[in-house]
Amino acid sequence: MQKRRPHNVGLPLTDADIHVPSSVHKKSFRTRKRTIQNGGSAQTLVFAIALVLILGVALMGFNFGSGSRGREIRRIEQMDLRLPLSQYVSLEYALQNSKLVGLYFAASWCPLSTPVSEMIDKALGEMLLPPPSSERSPPTDRAPMSIVYVSSDRNEEDFLEYSRWNWISVPFDSSEKTALKKHFSVCSSPEAVQLGIDRKFEIPTLLILDGATHGVVSTNGAEDLLEYKHNAFDHWMDLLHLIRAMEEKYGSEEHGSITPKKRRVDHADSLSSLFA
């Protein structure tokens, strides 16, 4: 007997053939939706954590960089506020308490030093700031001038004997004595070889400094004393006011002040002719 063939064999499947209960559809849809929602929430959480970490690292880096830059700026500002000669403790008292400071490079054995020392005594003696003392209080106002003796004496006995009561002397055994000679390139002939100094000025040399700015007012103090005598201080103050005016108008050039043009001369020959 021939078997009956199903009526839909070889025909496309209809909706009735593949009918699935609605309850199955709803359950499957809810499952997929929950899966998608859970997956999306996890991705969002991971993204948020990553974003927080990135922002945190960036903020830490910014704060660290800002702190480093701030410290560097403060360090530079502090360096800029330091005046050129502030490292020399032996000059501190004179610079802080005098309008003008005369750095006097000389020696008891130098024949040319004696006339200059005598001119200092005669022309400036009454206005000079005495050395600090426990018996005297520091001045409330700046004194007109002070002399700081930077000696080239051969021994401490000669140094003490040659110093004046109203001179502020750099201690004989102080390393600052050599440092100042190198700083200003001033020394005796034997010292130039011994200390390896490229000398610009021999002894005696009297450098006039601005007590407030540490700038050089004159490199020819000894010659100025001989020329202006008791008016030498007024001459230096006129130079100081001129330099200050130039600084205000044009700005400072070096070490907080504009130094006047230096007259390069053979110092020994010049002083020899002056006192001949």
Given a contact cutoff of 8 angstroms between Cβ atoms, the answer to whether 173 and 156 are in contact is yes
**pLDDT value, residue 138:** 78
Query: d(Cα 74, Cα 71) in Å, to the nearest integer?
Result: 5
Q: Which fold has domain 89-274?
A: Glutaredoxin (3.40.30)
**pLDDT value, residue 267:** 52
**pLDDT value, residue 70:** 56
**Which class for 200: exposed (0-12), middle (13-18), buried (19 or more C-beta within 10 A)?**
middle
**pLDDT value, residue 43:** 72
Q: What are phi and psi of 239, to 5 degrees?
A: -65, -40
Query: d(Cα 108, Cα 156) in Å, to the nearest integer?
Result: 11
User: How many CB atoms sit inside 10 A of residue 93's CB?
Assistant: 17
The number of C-alpha atoms within 13 Å of 7 and in the hemisphere containing its C-beta is 2
**pLDDT value, residue 264:** 39
**pLDDT value, residue 35:** 52
Query: d(Cα 66, Cα 84) in Å, to the nearest integer?
Result: 30
Quick one: which of 124, 90, 76, 95 has its CA closest to 216?
95
Tokens 């997956």 correspond to what residue? 39
Q: What's the per-residue H, E or C state across the chain?
A: CCCCCCCCCCCCCCCCCCCCCHHHHHHHHHHHHHHHHHHHHHHHHHHHHHHHHHHHHHHHHHHHHHHHHHHHHHHHHHHHHCCCCCCCHHHHHHHHHEEEEEEEEECCCCCCHHHHHHHHHHHHHHHECCCCCCCCCCCCCCEEEEEEEEECCCCHHHHHHHCCCCEEECCCCCHHHHHHHHHHCECCHHHHHHHCCCCCECCCEEEEEECCCCCEEECCHHHHHHHHHHHHHHHHHHHHHHHHHHHHHHCCCECCECCCCCCCCCHHHHHHHHCC
Q: pTM for this structure?
A: 0.66
Q: Would you write out the chain's pLDDT as a tens digit for each of its 276 residues?
A: 555 555 454 555 555 554 545 554 555 545 555 554 555 566 777 777 777 777 766 666 555 555 555 555 454 444 445 789 999 999 999 999 999 999 999 999 999 999 999 999 999 999 999 999 888 787 889 999 999 999 999 999 999 999 999 999 999 999 999 999 999 999 999 999 999 999 999 999 999 999 999 999 999 999 999 999 999 999 999 999 999 999 888 876 544 443 444 443 445 555 655 555
CA angle at residue 252 from 249 to 253, to 5 degrees? 130
